[in-house]
Amino acid sequence: MLLENITTFTKLFNDPRRGQGQRHRLHDIIVIMLMAILTGHQSIKGFARFAKSNRAELIAHLGLKHGVPSFNTFRYILESIGEDIFAQNFLIYMKQQYGVLADEYISIDGKSVRSSVKGGNTDNQHFVSLVSAFGQNSKMVYGMQAFENKKSAESEIVRDLASKLALKDKTFTLDALHCQKKRSP
């Protein structure tokens, strides 16, 4: 059942690579990244370390003919797919698998991504954040969306994510920063 669910998720992605010279299936690369994330790895280097240290098991279980993917393979795939497409496909997958869950309360919050801060404690500070919608009862993530603080604000992303989720009869819990007298259209 779990393998079928992962396959359903990986089929949502179009392979950005040319057919010539492909050593690894896109499905296998995404599965390895998901496994690495579940074991606490949060970067491309972490994905490559996970693949290298679990090389024998991954080759045996996934049937990898050319060994495990390299750092550059993970980097290229992540850059080509983009976090917006990954998040959009995750939302589609969650709706396909679980429909609308029975959560009465949905928490929406933004967190900055570790090691993404540039500019230090100055006016030029720049970082990447991720806003996620989390079901209190089901403990499931309904959706997520990344943004850069120099390009947009968390409140805009929260409104956009809430409209994409299109959830009815739910209570959203949010930070105080989302309480505004005047609401922009």
Is the per-residue pLDDT at 107 higher than 70? yes
Distance CA 106, CA 99 (A): 15
The percent of residues above 70 in pLDDT, for the chain, comes to: 79
Position 163 scores a pLDDT of: 84
DSSP state of 177: G
Strands 171-173 and 105-112: parallel
Q: pLDDT digits over 113-150, tens only?
A: 765 556 666 666 666 778 888 888 877 777 777 777 66
Position 115 scores a pLDDT of: 59
Mean pLDDT on 56-64: 93
Query: Which range in 65-69, 162-166, 178-182 is most confidently predicted, on average pLDDT?
Result: 65-69
The percent of residues above 90 in pLDDT, for the chain, comes to: 18
Is the per-residue pLDDT at 185 higher than 70? no
Distance CA 126, CA 133 (A): 23
Mean pLDDT on 23-52: 89
Distance CA 31, CA 18 (A): 20
pTM of whole model > 0.75? no
Distance CA 35, CA 180 (A): 40
What are the φ and ψ backbone dihedral angles of 8, each rounded to 5 degrees?
-60, -40
- Of 13 and 71, which is predicted with more confidence? 71
Distance CA 47, CA 29 (A): 10
Position 1 scores a pLDDT of: 44
Instruction: List the one residue out of 52, 42, 56 whose CA is nearest residue 73.
Output: 52
Position 150 scores a pLDDT of: 66
Is the per-residue pLDDT at 68 higher than 80? yes
Task: Name the pLDDT band for 84 (thresholds 50, 70, 90).
Answer: confident
